[in-house]
Chain A
Amino acid sequence: MRQGWTWLAGAFTALAMVMPAKAETVRMTVSFYSAQTGPYYEKMAEEFHKANPSIDVKIEVVNWANLLQKLQTDISGGTNADLSIIGTRWLLDFVKDGIAEPLDPLMAPGFKERFIGPFIKPGTIGGKTYGLPVAASARAMFYNKAMLAKAGFPNGPKTWDEVIAAAEKIKADGGNGFGLMAKGTEVDVYLYYALWTHGGEVLDANQKAAFNSPAGVKALTMYKMMLDKGLTEAAPTNYTRDELQALFKQGRLGMMITGPFLMNQIAKEAPTLEYGVLPVPVGTNPATYAVTDSIVMFANSKVKTAAMKWLDFLFTPAPRIAFTKGEGFLPTTIEEAKDPAFTENERLKVFVSLLPNARFAPTVTGWEDTAKAVTDAVQSVYLGTSTPEAELNAAAAKANQSLGK
């Protein structure tokens, strides 16, 4: 009889150990950066679960192009996950509707200090931290070494004048000089490279459209001139960033401006391609575009503490290094940046060195509309329907309407 009681007590203890008080499930929506994104998060979730058996993390991978639409639908229906990766430029819309949860009260002491200053800043609105930078990248110019050496610029062009001179030589040899993209996302940013490096700004201090300034007109006129002279690939309105990158990987494009992820792609798909990385060409001053994606927590989450615990784990050095290296991004935390994978990569260093001059997308409502207005303007100039000045002015009027100015 006594033995029976002991057995029963033992069974209960065992049961209690197998089934902890209450398992919590944290759901996270993750954007598809590459084929490794899903497996990386699954692996991290498993590791995290081993250390915290009471928390289960469920990962859902969504294609970047459909992410905002999915979130919009989920949020309207109240079926959103607890956490999600979003483009930091969308954050303001989330905060304004009270959908994003301020993370400061949940953070462990010293957590916020793990991040690199300029990268956490775009995720901070009104003094509160809403978005943690999960992915960061900057833009630089990739050039094909063989083509540029033949054109007389073995170390690559540093200024726009040199880009044009090199592209003319490449064209004489029958190649594509400078890659222009005018389809899909970031068409506006591609114009801003030239705008910023000629001393222009997209928005002025009052958040009013300023891209139709003389610098903006000069930038677009320069691109259009290059297109008309055949210094770019034929028909930029047919090329998205991916399609331009494909041309570059095939060794059929002299120069293009894009992010560090192209390095990973080249290493995998075109390992024999000889290429260099340089800052965005200078007109009057250096500049580049930097962009972060952030993790946000939704205000309607019921497992906020558990979710924060998982975030804390994600932003420790080992998981960060694995992620950033795997995807080809820039480090967003101070500790991971010290890893030799980043400090000893010459090409990546170029990107890091550009950060002091980097511009981020401003957190204003109407940024997507501004992007769309500028994209339309660029496309109609390339198609030859209108002049840069007229188009940029029209786009500025449209943008100001959405910016509420």
Chain B
Amino acid sequence: MLIAPSLLLACGVIGYPFYEIVRLSLSEVSRFGQIRGFAGWDNFIRVATDPIFVDALIRTLVWTVTVVGGTILLSVPVALVLREDFFGRGLARTIIMLPWSIALSMAAIVWLWAFNADYGMINATLRQWGILAQPLQWMARPETAFPVEVAIGIIVSIPFTVTILLGGLSSIPGEIYEAARIDGARPWQSFAFMTLPMLRPFMNIAIVLNVIHVFNSFSIIWVMTQGGPDNRTHILVTYLYELSFYLGRPGPAAVVSLVVLAIVFSATAVYMWLREREG
């Protein structure tokens, strides 16, 4: 009874936008949000038959899997190194964490400059090393632009993931390694059979939180390529933005956001379930 007011508030805060989105998705809506009539499933059919949407949906999955996968693969060794006590560890930790303090869109702008074909730092370095003879137009083709965006997605996700993993590592008592060493375990064995299993719950949380975050990551792709060229770097959120604000179609945009909502909701459900299981 005592929580009723806050429960009501929470329901209103969550429920009203949801109601609006559902209403928009079923209506014929003008650019400025005026509802012109009931559209039935028209918006849904229009979105489902749009090849750009289907492409973006697949690309969103590729984007999420590669960014999160790459982040975890890189974060584990980084966290392991940062756990060791070495000279300058504080500095190294700070450097690893630094990208976290920069707004995502700012980071994306800086990287866009770095990858500029004519005066970008990346091309200049590669040419100095003799790897490239001609400047490479990174952002001109989706085949190069998208991997670059994935790489940046990984870089900006590392700090958060390393933080979680470091927390996990510090919860593993040092004595068991000593015991393992006395029993003759090699370093890789103690990593594979002790560190990894004991890190698993933290890994799971890192993966799920990253999935939710990366899935909705808008700034990197929007700043660097706006989903182009030829719509071939769109993920769902950038496509949603373009639909709503560039093409002025709030109806179909509402449908896309329902799809996004459904996917994020299932990811969240998995997260809740994992937490429950780990108690």
Residues of chain A having any CB pair with chain B under 8 Å: 68-69, 72, 75-76, 93-94, 96-97, 99, 182-184, 234-238, 247, 368-369, 372, 376, 379-380, 382-383, 385
Q: Give A376 to B34 CA distance when docked, in angstroms.
A: 29
Q: Give A96 to B226 CA distance when docked, in angstroms.
A: 29
Cβ of B97 under 8 Å from chain A: no
Question: 20 pairs across A/B with beta carbons < 8 Å?
Answer: A68-B246, A72-B33, A75-B32, A93-B30, A93-B32, A94-B32, A99-B32, A183-B228, A183-B229, A235-B117, A237-B139, A237-B228, A238-B138, A247-B118, A368-B248, A372-B246, A376-B231, A379-B228, A383-B141, A385-B230
Q: Give A383 to B228 CA distance when docked, in angstroms.
A: 11
Q: B32–A182 contact, CB under 8 A? A: no
Q: A235–B140 contact, CB under 8 A? A: yes
> What residues of B have a CB within 8 angstroms of the CB of A247 in the complex?
118
Q: A93–B248 contact, CB under 8 A? A: yes
Contacting A at CB under 8 A, from B34-52, are 34
> What residues of B have a CB within 8 angstroms of the CB of A183 in the complex?
228-229
> What residues of B have a CB within 8 angstroms of the CB of A372 in the complex?
246-247
One digit per residue, 1 when the CB lies within 8 angstroms of any chain A CB and 0 when it does not, for chain B 162-179 equals: 000000000000000000
Q: B229–A383 contact, CB under 8 A? A: yes
**With A69-B245, A235-B117, A383-B141 as contacts: A93 and B31 at CB distance below 8 Å:** yes
Q: B245–A72 contact, CB under 8 A? A: yes
Residues of chain B having any CB pair with chain A under 8 Å: 30-34, 117-118, 134-135, 137-142, 226, 228-231, 245-248
Shortest distance between the CB of B49 and any CB in chain A (Å): 11
Q: A235–B141 contact, CB under 8 A? A: yes
Q: Give A346 to B35 CA distance when docked, in angstroms.
A: 51
> What residues of B have a CB within 8 angstroms of the CB of A237 in the complex?
137, 139-141, 228-230
> What residues of A have a CB within 8 angstroms of the CB of B138 in the complex?
238
Q: Give A96 to B248 CA distance when docked, in angstroms.
A: 13
A94 closest partner in B (C-beta)? B32
> What residues of A have a CB within 8 angstroms of the CB of B134 in the complex?
234
> What residues of A have a CB within 8 angstroms of the CB of B247 in the complex?
368-369, 372
Q: B31–A238 contact, CB under 8 A? A: no
Q: Give A66 to B204 CA distance when docked, in angstroms.
A: 38
Q: A379–B31 contact, CB under 8 A? A: no
Shortest distance between the CB of A397 and any CB in chain B (Å): 12
